[in-house]
Amino acid sequence: MLKCLLFLSVALAGVVVAAHPSLAAPVTAGADQTVSTTITSKKMTVKNQDSQAIFEGTVVLTRGTLVVYSDRMIVSFGSAQSNGTEDRKGRETASPRKGPDTVSNRAVNRIEAIGRVKIERDSGNATCEKAVYYREEDKIVLTGSPVAWEKGTRVSGKQITMFLAEDRSVVEGGSHVRIEPEGEAK
């Protein structure tokens, strides 16, 4: 039903932080390994002690035909030896991690797009105030008046959660679906 939302998995599961060499590498989670990901912003701050890269001001993530816009984006890294558990600051703690998504013993574990989030892809679009990708659970949570649409079908609610591995989405809190006739989609 919400296949239009699955495009976000490609961006958030496959983010490469190209603005900082120690963070750049092809990261995949079912994504095409040959497509690079770029994040641009007016300002980038790398907080090694917090294992984060923070992008602020006109943030644009681009991966193939996918473009994600936000006011701020926080890319959180864990050790390549991580098991997905986090401390109180959201930093990962230890156990081996495998795959091509590690760079300098770091792996993307969470990506938050915050403030006027707009997601565009040839197959559909979404808007919200906050979108968070959780790598270990392979899910994306859209909050802050989330709306997603594709080919005349528009879905909204208080929270939209996409379980990527299961090809399943859950809309909570006043879920609303609007289906436009084929020629009248907006």
The pTM score is 0.70
Predicted local distance difference test score (pLDDT) of residue 180: 87
> CA-CA distance, 140 to 72, in Å (whole number)?
17
**Tens digit of pLDDT at every position of the chain (186 positions):** 333 333 333 334 344 344 433 333 334 344 445 677 789 999 999 999 999 999 999 999 887 777 889 999 999 988 765 454 555 555 555 444 444 344 556 788 999 999 999 988 777 788 999 999 888 898 889 999 999 988 889 999 999 987 877 877 889 999 999 998 876 555
Enter the CATH code of domain 3-78+106-184: 2.60.450.10
Predicted local distance difference test score (pLDDT) of residue 19: 41
Q: What are phi and psi of 12, to 5 degrees?
A: -80, -30
Q: Who contacts 61 (Cβ-Cβ below 8 Å, separation ≥6)?
A: 11, 15, 37, 38, 39, 67, 68, 70, 73, 113
